[in-house]
Structure 1
């Protein structure tokens, strides 16, 4: 005959009650509370060199928090999907040729895309360094922003983000690194980049800061990858 769960309920309950009475009466030490030893004393952070004067300015210019209005590019209806990413990158290169001199010639030779309304993983042509744009809401205003990658010499890449606000096309992120890959986590852009140490990589999370009105590197860390060799590519100086 098959025994149902209800047949086991009462004996199990009785056994549990007996064990509880035994523990209260002190019969044996099975099931009783045992000390885990002394609790370690909590140690707070200790300030070192308290007489060291605070810095008056940052040591390096990391480029974070900088924005730029892109002039000469029309955004029909304020919809970035209607604008060719190649056109936007060309405008930025033309406005700051010294900053993009390593990609200026290649970007100038890029043919215009037939359409920019869909996410793409490749550029307009094989020899064009401008990769297809991804459209996501990075700023949290409910409208699509544009994320563009541009290949640079020595296996480097520019990562640029653009938004449309106040009737102006605005660049809110411009980072160059030895990029391994890029992920989007919510509204944060997570960039994995080659590190100077073999077997390690940089991992930076960029998030939009509503006060600065720009993408900021809210988390920057170096992590062990476990691989025996990190790609031999130069990495820009980091903060």
Structure 2
């Protein structure tokens, strides 16, 4: 902007009674002229331009509102709905005094007497029987026992994991001691990516067919039914680094 245009932008001030007032008026005039110059420069190249009026936002439109929605399904319960005692095992004062393979063998025999279908195929059954006498054998499908308080009573429960061979299913049974008798309070079989315990709850993470996603299921103690039930199921995103296989 040249000097001539600057002079024209400064308004003429008349009728001022003091030199100080004149200086103030001149400073104000210069500031106004500077602001006008800045605003005028905004119209140059690269200045932001309006994209036009924004599209109107509308709520979802329900399709076929005249049709009645389907009724809700029956409540889903995974595993045992009541605690199942293993009376074939001797009474115990300490849940750690019985081996995990012995518990699995007793559970299989108890289920067979109840007429339940076997959880494992013939080859896996033989490997499980071997675990009772050779718990450290490489062919043993029964994992090392885990002990955590899952009922909130201050005492540990026994968590047993049994691998399912080619099916890659992990059978998880949780037991508590009640009057010295082992009682199964959770019975699930899932294709797991990881199994965790947090805040007295059992968390099972399962892989999905969608890369980067997993299913996270939380099982919690239900004091009313005296078993562990499914509390929540989430479909979670996991970054490539955290989605790497972890210890189960």
TM-score normalised per structure 1:
0.63
> Is residue 140 from structure 1 mapped to residue 152 from structure 2 by the alignment?
yes
Runs (4+) off by over 6 Å = none
Alignment of 1:215-226 (within 5 A): 215-226=228-239
Gaps of 5+ in 1: 1-42, 114-122, 232-239
2:102 to 65, 87, 95: 87
2:128 to 102, 107, 119: 107
Q: Residues 81 and 198 from structure 1, CA distance in 2 versus in 1: closer, same or farther, beyond 3 angstroms?
A: same
Q: Residues 49 and 178 from structure 1, CA distance in 2 versus in 1: closer, same or farther, beyond 3 angstroms?
A: farther
Which digits, 9 at most, give the CA deviation of each residue in 1:208-228, with x for residues without a partner?
110111111111111122449
Counterpart CA distance in 2 for 1:133 and 1:49 is 56
Q: CA deviation at 1:61?
A: 6.0
Q: Residues 95 and 163 from structure 1, CA distance in 2 versus in 1: closer, same or farther, beyond 3 angstroms?
A: same
* Larger Rg, first or second structure (1 or 2): 2
Gaps of 5+ in 2: 1-58
Normalized per residue, the structure richer in helix is: 2
Aligned partners of 2:80 and 2:185 also within 8 Å:
no
> Is residue 173 from structure 1 mapped to residue 186 from structure 2 by the alignment?
yes
Does the residue aligned with 1:94 lie in a helix, a strand or coil? helix
Paired residue for 1:68?
A: 84
The CA RMSD measured in Å over matched residues stands at: 2.9
Q: Residues 180 and 143 from structure 1, CA distance in 2 versus in 1: closer, same or farther, beyond 3 angstroms?
A: same
Counterpart CA distance in 1 for 2:197 and 2:73 is 35
- 83-92 or 189-198, which deviates more: 189-198
Q: Residues 159 and 49 from structure 1, CA distance in 2 versus in 1: closer, same or farther, beyond 3 angstroms?
A: farther
Counterpart CA distance in 1 for 2:149 and 2:77 is 27
Which digits, 9 at most, give the CA deviation of each residue in 1:23-56, with x for residues without a partner?
xxxxxxxxxxxxxxxxxxxx9xx9x889546447
Q: CA deviation at 1:139?
A: 0.9
Q: Residues 137 and 128 from structure 1, CA distance in 2 versus in 1: closer, same or farther, beyond 3 angstroms?
A: same
Q: CA deviation at 1:161?
A: 0.4
Aligned partners of 1:124 and 1:130 also within 8 Å:
no
Q: How many residues align?
A: 174
Q: Residues 56 and 68 from structure 1, CA distance in 2 versus in 1: closer, same or farther, beyond 3 angstroms?
A: same
